[in-house]
């Protein structure tokens, strides 16, 4: 794009169409909402600032090491003593120097503002930031804001004290804002014969960051311009040939003068680069967000498939156990005893006895059912956590994920009944095996204590009371014959028919009961998984959001030069 700054209004309008911002505007519960909000607001704040800069003077920001001579440089450049020299590091402030016909010097909102009646300052503002090691928590954000909003940055090095560890970190930050950056090697009057080595070192170490370099002596230039007295202390090492440093300062002044005379063009270029950086950050924010929720969406779909597979497996296993017991074992011995001695019919063919053996078996099936589901859920969650951990380095919110507390699904203490006991209490149980991919804190609510393990078991697998079969017409007929001692060969046929009907109903009702219980467990664990990951959208809504993010990113890329 030839001049993207002309499209700043269009870009700003597009930012408000961000799918994530629209979801927040409509108060939708989307994953990572709180985590992404700050980044999105920063982008909007930055473009608002950029809009306000269109008619503002060019802003030059001075950055550098402590005692690198920033104040002397400003005074020398303006040929006027406007910034205090040799101020204690602890009292370092941000100083903003602007044009004003009525000169002033005041502190407002922890920033020292100086108005100077100089023609050069009509189109240029100068900001002197604290030395790198004197930046405090109090002024750090303001310093970064000035750097972020600068049109030109002058980075001062102390020629006698190079190689500080924090230099590259600061330069990396400045370069990320895509600002024109000039390196100034100050205090070169204190160098002896190693001037060329210093220059070579600076260029090798920091050349990739800088548009240009100048080796100067602000001190001597300051003395020359203001007091016309270039005397130095007896302990200072002064090179014999100052003319080269003076010429370098002159070239630097010309460089800045060129910026001054091409103020509008430079500012436009700087703003264009700043706008490009804003768009890049918007793309990165949304790309990382899309990547993050894509991982969650994929794992949600995978979780559902794994649960479905386990559901089919457990359903098949329980059905086999039911059919095998009912068809091969249920009342077989009792019926043989009756056939051997018909008097035994009264012992076995009664409602109490039959319900007793049915629910004894059902208790065994319940234990098997819950053991299978407990093991299956542990297997599923371990698989899911392994998958998420593979993707964790691709998720922008890694630190938040790592720091998030979790409810630990201890392998040795898992009890599905306890888990089910929390259902309906508003509690969220994060069944994630303590994985680092647990997104938000999950805990068991205090109200869960009011529900016992037994009540959970009763809720999901109540005792099987086959009243319809055991007290039906055929049952009543058989009971009547047994009780009234109508024990003849015909009653054996009635008992056979009764047991066959009973078998059919037991199989049907047990299968249906465990099937419904499994469905409840699947629905509950899916809800727990989604809640533990702060997913309040279904998979179709998530996929729609992912598709919208992809389209939005493509629209943003149209404003970036390839």
Please give the residue that has the higher pLDDT: either 366 or 389: 366
175 touches 209 (CB < 8 A): yes
* Band of residue 9 on the pLDDT scale cut at 50, 70, 90: confident
pLDDT of residue 324: 95
Indicate if the pLDDT at residue 198 is higher than 50.
yes
Indicate if the pLDDT at residue 61 is higher than 90.
yes
Indicate if the pLDDT at residue 345 is higher than 50.
yes
pLDDT digits (tens, 9 = 90+) for 134-164: 555 566 777 888 888 888 899 998 888 876 6
What is the enclosing helix (H) or strand (E) of 97?
strand 94-99
pLDDT of residue 439: 26
Which DSSP string corresponds to 259-309?
Answer: HHHTHHHHHHHHHHHHHHHHHHHHHHHHHHHHHHHHHHHHHHHHHHHHHHH
| 340: CB partners within 8 A, 6+ apart | none
pLDDT of residue 477: 60
pLDDT digits (tens, 9 = 90+) for 431-472: 222 222 222 222 222 222 222 223 333 344 445 544 444 545
pLDDT of residue 267: 65
Q: Which CATH number fits domain 56-261: 3.50.50.60, 3.40.50.300, 3.40.630.40, 3.40.190.10?
A: 3.40.50.300
pLDDT of residue 37: 83
pLDDT of residue 559: 86
pLDDT of residue 456: 35
| 167: CB partners within 8 A, 6+ apart | 65, 132, 206
CATH 3.40.50.300 location in the chain: 56-261
88 touches 96 (CB < 8 A): no
Indicate if the pLDDT at residue 197 is higher than 60.
yes
Please give the residue that has the higher pLDDT: either 186 or 538: 186
Range 465-480 average pLDDT: 53
Please give the residue that has the higher pLDDT: either 490 or 115: 115
* C-alpha span between 511 and 492 (Å, rounded): 28
Q: How many CB atoms are located within 10 Å of the residue 50 CB? A: 21
Indicate if the pLDDT at residue 489 is higher than 90.
no
Indicate if the pLDDT at residue 173 is higher than 50.
yes
pLDDT of residue 16: 92
pLDDT of residue 537: 80
pLDDT of residue 438: 29
pLDDT of residue 541: 86
Question: What Rg, from alpha-carbon coordinates, does the chain have?
Answer: 40
pLDDT digits (tens, 9 = 90+) for 302-336: 888 988 999 999 999 999 999 999 999 998 998 88
Q: How many CB atoms are located within 10 Å of the residue 29 CB? A: 11
213 touches 154 (CB < 8 A): no
Range 215-223 average pLDDT: 87
């Amino acid at each position: 794009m030839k001049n993207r700054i002309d499209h700043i209004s269009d870009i700003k309008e597009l930012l408000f169409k961000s799918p994530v911002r629209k979801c927040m505007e409509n108060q939708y519960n989307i994953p990572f909402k709180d985590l992404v909000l700050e980044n999105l607001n920063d982008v909007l704040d930055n473009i608002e600032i950029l809009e306000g800069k269109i008619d503002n003077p060019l802003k030059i920001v001075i950055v550098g090491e402590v005692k690198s001579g920033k104040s002397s440089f400003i005074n020398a450049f303006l040929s006027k003593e406007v910034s205090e020299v040799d101020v204690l590091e602890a009292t370092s402030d941000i100083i903003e120097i602007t044009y004003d016909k009525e000169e002033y010097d005041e502190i407002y909102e922890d920033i020292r503002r100086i108005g100077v009646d100089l023609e050069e300052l009509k189109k240029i503002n100068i900001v002197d930031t604290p030395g790198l090691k004197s930046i405090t928590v109090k002024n750090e954000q303001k310093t970064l804001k000035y750097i972020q909003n600068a049109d030109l940055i002058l980075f001062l090095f102390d020629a006698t004290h190079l190689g500080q560890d924090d230099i590259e970190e600061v330069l990396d930050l400045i370069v990320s804002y895509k600002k024109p950056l000039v390196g100034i090697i100050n205090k070169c009057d204190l160098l002896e014969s190693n001037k060329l080595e210093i220059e070579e070192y600076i260029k090798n170490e920091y050349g990739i960051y800088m548009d240009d370099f100048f080796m100067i002596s602000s001190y001597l230039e300051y003395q020359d311009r203001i007091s016309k007295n270039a005397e130095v202390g007896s302990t200072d090492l002064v090179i014999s040939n100052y003319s080269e440093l003076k010429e370098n300062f002159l070239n630097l002044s010309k460089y800045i003068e060129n910026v001054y005379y091409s103020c509008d063009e430079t500012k436009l270029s700087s703003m264009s680069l700043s706008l490009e950086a804003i768009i890049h950050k918007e793309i990165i924010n949304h790309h990382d967000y899309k990547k993050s929720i894509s991982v969650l969406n994929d794992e949600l779909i995978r979780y559902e498939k794994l649960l479905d597979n386990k559901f089919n497996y457990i359903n098949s296993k329980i059905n086999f156990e039911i059919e095998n017991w009912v068809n091969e074992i249920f009342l077989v011995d009792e019926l043989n005893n009756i056939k051997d001695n018909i008097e035994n019919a009264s012992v076995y063919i009664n409602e109490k006895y039959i319900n007793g053996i049915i629910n004894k078996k059902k208790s065994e099936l319940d234990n098997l059912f819950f053991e299978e589901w407990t093991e299956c859920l542990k297997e599923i969650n371990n698989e899911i956590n392994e998958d998420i951990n593979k993707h964790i380095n691709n998720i922008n919110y890694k630190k938040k994920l790592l720091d998030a507390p979790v409810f630990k699904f201890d392998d040795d203490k898992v009890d599905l009944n306890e888990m089910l006991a929390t259902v309906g209490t508003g509690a969220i149980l994060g069944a994630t095996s303590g994985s680092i991919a647990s997104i938000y804190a999950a805990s068991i609510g205090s109200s869960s204590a009011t529900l016992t393990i037994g009540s959970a078991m009763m809720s999901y697998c109540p005792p099987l009371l086959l009243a319809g079969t055991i007290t039906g017409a055929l049952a009543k007929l058989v009971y009547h014959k047994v009780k009234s001692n109508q024990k003849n060969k015909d009653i054996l046929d009635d008992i056979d028919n009764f047991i066959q009907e009973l078998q059919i109903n037991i199989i049907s009702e047990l299968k249906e009961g465990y099937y419904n219980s499994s469905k409840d467990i699947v629905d509950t664990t899916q809800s727990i998984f989604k809640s533990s990951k702060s997913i309040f959208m279904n998979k179709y809504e998530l996929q729609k959001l992912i598709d919208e993010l992809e389209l939005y990113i493509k629209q943003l890329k149209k404003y970036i030069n390839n």
